[in-house]
């Protein structure tokens, strides 16, 4: 009987963990297919790892995860992000979300350090930076609305607003776009379906060359990380 009880508890834990993770929306994959001619907002793409945090009015930030699974403070290095997010953003974002009468919000942050590259992190101080939010029953909001809500906070920098034309694309690829760090940009436009704006990414040639060296000829890995 004890074994059956223990197995039943384990099953319920796994089931509840799965359901809890399933309910926490992950950030959508961003295509590399550039949509030229569209008016877009181009944000600096910080080279780090995607960390999500779920908020509600009662609990504030209470659930955290990487792009694909939940994490707690004990897991290294991702667990570091929890207190960094709470300390840097919780008060300000709580006030913004309450003022706008949001019920639930998932906030998306980049977790990174000076030597982070392609999802790998050195043992060094890290930081977090907000790059998007998903509002319950609204989804990911358009970039102009996002900037009105959180533009005064420390977010991934807006580097460009205008047409996604060839000179702009080349300025990203060649790292001549003013204010851009190393990896590239994420471009966002108007909603193309409810809850999801137009989004695509452009990487710098220099970052892609470094990634090729890291992948050591593994083309599948390169495509996954690029």
**179 touches 161 (CB < 8 A):** no
Whether residue 207 sits in one domain with residue 109: no
Give the range of the structural domain holding residue 201, as residue numbers without chain letter.
31-46+157-226
Q: Is residue 24 situated within a structural domain?
A: no
pLDDT band of 17, cuts 50, 70, 90: very low
Q: What is the pLDDT of residue 154?
A: 98
Query: Which CATH number fits the domain that encloses residue 97?
Result: 3.30.470.30
Q: What is the pLDDT of residue 23?
A: 60
Whether residue 115 sits in one domain with residue 210: no
User: What is the value of pTM for the model shown?
Assistant: 0.88
Which helix (DSSP H) or strand (DSSP E) does residue 60 occupy? strand 60-65
Last residue of a domain, one of 129, 155, 181: 155
Is residue 19 over pLDDT 70? no
> In this predicted model, what pLDDT tens digit does every residue of 27-45 receive, in sequence order?
999 999 999 988 999 999 9
Q: What share of the chain is helix, strand, coil (3-state, %, to 5)?
A: 35, 30, 35
* Number of Cβ atoms within 10 Å of the Cβ of 205: 13
Q: What is the pLDDT of residue 24?
A: 77
Last residue of a domain, one of 155, 170, 196: 155
The CB-side HSE value for 193 (13 A sphere, CA atoms) comes to 0
Q: Dihedral angle at the C-alpha atoms of 61, 85, 158, 185, nearest 10 degrees?
A: -100
Domain count, the chain: 2
């Amino acid at each position: 009987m004890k074994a059956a009880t223990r197995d039943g508890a384990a099953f319920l834990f796994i089931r509840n963990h799965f359901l809890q993770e399933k309910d926490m929306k992950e950030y959508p994959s961003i295509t590399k297919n550039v949509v030229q001619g569209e008016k877009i907002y181009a944000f600096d793409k910080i080279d780090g790892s995607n960390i999500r945090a779920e908020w509600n009015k009662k609990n504030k930030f209470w659930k955290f995860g990487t792009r694909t699974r939940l994490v707690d403070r004990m897991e290294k290095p991702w667990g570091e992000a929890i207190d960094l997010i709470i300390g840097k953003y919780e008060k300000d974002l709580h006030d913004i979300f309450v003022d706008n009468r949001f019920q639930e919000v998932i906030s998306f942050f980049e977790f990174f350090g000076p030597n982070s590259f392609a999802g790998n992190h050195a043992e060094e101080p890290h930081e977090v930076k907000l790059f998007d939010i998903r509002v319950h029953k609204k989804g990911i909001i358009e970039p102009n609305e996002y900037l009105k809500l959180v533009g005064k906070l420390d977010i991934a920098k807006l580097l460009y607003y205008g047409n996604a034309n060839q000179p702009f694309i080349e300025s990203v690829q060649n790292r001549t776009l003013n204010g851009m760090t190393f990896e590239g940009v994420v471009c966002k436009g108007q909603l193309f379906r409810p809850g999801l704006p137009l989004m695509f990414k452009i990487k710098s040639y220099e970052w892609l060359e470094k990634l090729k060296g890291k992948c050591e000829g593994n083309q599948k890995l390169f495509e996954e990380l690029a």
